[in-house]
Structure 1
């Protein structure tokens, strides 16, 4: 009813009218999202999981994602007695058969499961025991059907605002997340994908064994990856941590094609490098939760890499045609939805960043920092441009679900870079991404070119080397420029204080 009332309102076509319209939209979003968040909190279970997912989706209005953030901490532990019954049902033996000690206080509680510290009786190793909340499986089927039904009602009342894709995604992924044997298999595959690297900071805990609702893993001590005090105490460089996370994510997406769907700070630990480490630095990055992964088909993976690299290229009519062609290939995006698609996928103000001839005014690398002012510009455009919000939901309906998850991973990467308060250029994340896109295209060329096609091989090699050195120069230049801007900012602040 609030939205129906909002859509009946009119505003003056002036700056004051646009500002009022923006405020009215923001207030309606906030009220509706807060009501829904409270309902999800009371219902618990998968509703909290759904709200947590909404809190990290870049494409929903900002008041919605902000209102859902409290659900990230609204998970309540299952009592020890219920866990003992779960163990007996899953394994046919009590907890004492497997563990010489078991800490009844969980070290982490999530919407689907909780984790306890224990000592493995057979090996004497300190382990982390992940146990599913017993009532989750019992109610998940009816909860998913209820959610899908309610989303269909939303679609019927507001045909232009369709969220049924969210229910479909949950129905497809939640059963996989609720089977820890699937999570153990994901972890094993990820270990294999990174096994060929001589040097990497990436670490995945060993899985000792897994049943459907119980999993026992190596216990790893560390801190959240965005714990700045911990990083300072252990003399760990924040810039290197951010770069390593960007490299890990980029390798998953563009090289192996098997990527983690929820790489937020709560799933990542940082610890000092251990003996016999493969890390080239004094730290290791540990990925804890492996319940949600996605496979990218080779054609989508390579075309997605080509699209990103085209966004990095200096604008021209030919480059703009290339960008639009790959947007069509990877996401079935028409010319009408192209500018909005680029804004959504990059988080940058491309809404008005195209000249009359269709040529982008800047490349992604030339746009510099993603400032608060630019974010306000995007949100203002969403309100001022008639029909833009329905276009956004139309994009979500038509594009591949895996691409929506890639949006989420890209946004989480940028959020981590901000949370780490890095001192390198904000475009560094894009530069690392571009390096892996360049490598992905080169490897695909080598896989598909005939052995004697010397012209094609030379062309591919030259393109790869050109991008490689261009990106190296951009990296040096961007960091130097950003360092100079920060120095000038500090000098200006000190001068103001002196005056």
Structure 2
């Protein structure tokens, strides 16, 4: 009995120490990356030649990209989500994007034997009793769960079985608390933005992701909303298999499609020039479908899918778009939904006064550090809440002295608005990745007007005037 007791003791000690080991690994790596950039900023100032400075920056970004990639890949869990957030073409240096974009669905898979135990315990039957076929190799593995293709007993249609990794919740909560501490430091030193509130909302949203019963309800609600409010739904939503979901297992309809990151390769295979007119039209349709779906969810319903990173988007036959993974959803309070509708109109109308008013209505507390405050406030609104980058901006650089966040400090940011911010930034990352610069605010204008009109915030005459102004701007530009 002694060896068994010793083994049990060792496992308990290992489990207890694991969060501490993980925290240590994060801080050693995070401090190394951060200090590397701070030392480099001093060194690069001694180089006067602009081309040499640019080459030095590119080399520094490549070194940092390898370190960030290794940290996110080795630690997995929550840091895979961090990679999804920062590894976008409009936000991060190109070297970061090249490395981090491959981490979307590359979490280590849990061995089948361990997954089988979770599956059978949750559903109360053996795999053989439930399925005619169950692929032991997962279709993909992400930070919280992995998915397997299967076929239910006596059925002819394939399903997807989503199963939670054992023990992942405690590790991810450790990760996010470390990130919160780092965010507090960053907002006091380099980035004048309320990053801590953002990480608190992330903690709340990720906590929800561990409840697959909640995800099943969210998926059904969004599916019903989109299918009932359109002649043809802008995006496909998987159907939940009734009575086949629990807190840690979710069985849903299988949708056949190509991950959006592989769209260019698939076009090339079919003899379509990825940079040609046919490909451009297909990409436009894909973005139009996604944008319409999100405009309706956020502004008309207030209940929306809040995680449109590339790993959750499939392209199906006929350029149809499927939206997967409803673990992160947000039910936006009515006041914020109306405030955001007003901000959408301000951005679409290029109206700095209305943008400032909308910021106040949303509870975004700012401190100006520039002369032309209203102009910079509109630029900040465009940077934060539109997919089209402001004029002259090709990539967001929050450390730059010319950055809007440097000129206008965001002292307080409503936690519940973070999901909207993150969603818009992920849509922008997709648009930049597809090579299409478009404004979601301009496309959402009619939906925002409708939302404000139904709430009694826009009168008939105001609505007609707003629509005339929108038509004029579309015809003649701003």
- 1:61-99 deviation digits (Å, cap 9, x = unpaired): 776666543432532222211111111232232211211
In the alignment, structure 1 residue 111 sits paired with structure 2 residue 131:
no
Instruction: Trace 1:296-375 onto structure 2 (pairs within 5 A).
Output: 296-313=332-349, 319-330=351-362, 331-336=364-369, 342-347=378-383, 374-375=393-394
Q: Distance in 1 between matches of 2:360 and 2:98?
A: 31
Q: Distance in 2 between matches of 1:30 and 1:344?
A: 28
Report matched runs for 1:140-289 at 5 Å.
Answer: 140-148=172-180, 163-165=195-197, 167-201=199-233, 202-208=235-241, 209-225=244-260, 227-228=263-264, 237-238=281-282, 239-272=284-317, 284-289=320-325
Confirm or deny: 8 A CA contact 1:435 1:471 kept in the other structure: no
- Quick one: structure 1 residues 375 and 140, their matched pair in 2 at CA, closer, same or farther if it must change by over 3 Å? closer
Scaled by the length of structure 1, the TM-score of the pair is: 0.72
What is the rounded CA distance, in whole Å, between the counterparts of 2:332 and 2:84 in structure 1? 24
Aligned to 1:95: 127
**TM-score, normalised to structure 2's length?**
0.75
Q: Distance in 2 between matches of 1:174 and 1:156?
A: 25
- For structure 2, the residue ranges without an aligned partner over 5 or more in a row are 1-34, 273-277
Q: Does the residue aligned with 2:109 lie in a helix, a strand or coil?
A: coil
Aligned: 1:74 with 2:106: yes
Q: Pick closer, same or farther for the CA change 1:341–1:468 going to 2, 3 Å.
A: same
Match of 1:495 in 2: none
Equivalents in 2 of 1:159, 1:431: separation in Å? Answer: 29
The answer to whether the Cα contact below 8 Å between 2:201 and 2:418 also exists between their aligned partners in 1 is no
Q: 1:345 to 1:142 in 2, by over 3 A?
A: same
Q: 1:207–1:177: structure 2 CA closer, same or farther, 3 Å change rule?
A: same
Q: Is the 8 A contact 1:46 1:143 kept in 2?
A: yes
In the alignment, the residues of structure 2 paired with residue 174 and residue 126 of structure 1 have an alpha-carbon distance, to the nearest angstrom, of: 28
Deviation digits for residues 304-355 of structure 1 (CA, Å, limit 9, x no counterpart): 22122123326xxxx533322212222223444765554344239x9xxxxx
- Note if contact 2:62-2:96 (Cα within 8 Å) is conserved in structure 1: yes
Aligned mates of 1:151, 1:421 — CA distance in 2: 31
In the other structure, the counterpart of 1:49 is 81
Q: 1:134 aligns to what SS in structure 2?
A: coil
Which is further off, 103-112 or 232-241?
232-241
Describe the shift of the 1:306–1:140 C-alpha distance in structure 2 as closer, same or farther (beyond 3 A): closer
Residues 1:129 and 2:140 aligned together: no
Q: Secondary structure at the match of 2:148?
A: strand
CA-atom RMSD, angstroms? 4.0
2:320 is paired with a residue whose SS is: strand
Q: Which moved more, 1:66-75 or 1:96-105?
A: 66-75
Whole-Å separation in 1 of the counterparts to 2:58 and 2:375: 23
Over 3 Å counting, the alpha-carbon distance change for 1:418 and 1:106 in structure 2 is same
- Corresponding residue SS for 1:175: helix
Task: For residue 372 of structure 1, report the CA deviation from its aligned partner.
Answer: 10
Note if contact 1:103-1:116 (Cα within 8 Å) is conserved in structure 2: yes
Matched, 1:5 2:34: no
| Structure-2 separation of matches of 1:402 and 1:61 | 28
Contact 1:58 1:407 in 2 (8 A): no
CA distance in 2: counterparts of 1:477 and 1:231, whole angstroms:
34
Q: How many residues align?
A: 427
Match status 1:439 vs 2:450: yes
Shift in Å at residue 403 of structure 1? 3.1
Aligned CA distance change for structure 1 residues 313 and 169 (closer, same or farther; 3 Å): closer
Q: Match of 2:393, SS?
A: helix
Give the secondary structure class of the aligned counterpart of 1:203. Answer: coil
Once the two structures are superposed, what CA deviation does each residue of 1:196-243 show, in whole Å capped at 9, x if it has no partner? 324133321111121111110011112234625757969895133321
- Give a deviation string over 1:77-127, Cα, whole Å, max 9, x none: 222111111112322322112111101122222122111111111544311
Distance 1:158 1:304, change over 3 A: closer
Structure 1 residue ranges without an equivalent (≥5)? 273-281, 351-363, 449-458, 482-499
Equivalent residue, structure 1, for 2:428 = 414
Per-residue CA shift, 1:366-392, capped at 9, x if unaligned? xxx85996316x64x95344x966567
Distance 1:255 1:432, change over 3 A: same
Q: Distance in 2 between matches of 1:297 and 1:268?
A: 26
Helix, strand or coil at the partner of 2:447: helix
Distance 1:24 1:162, change over 3 A: farther
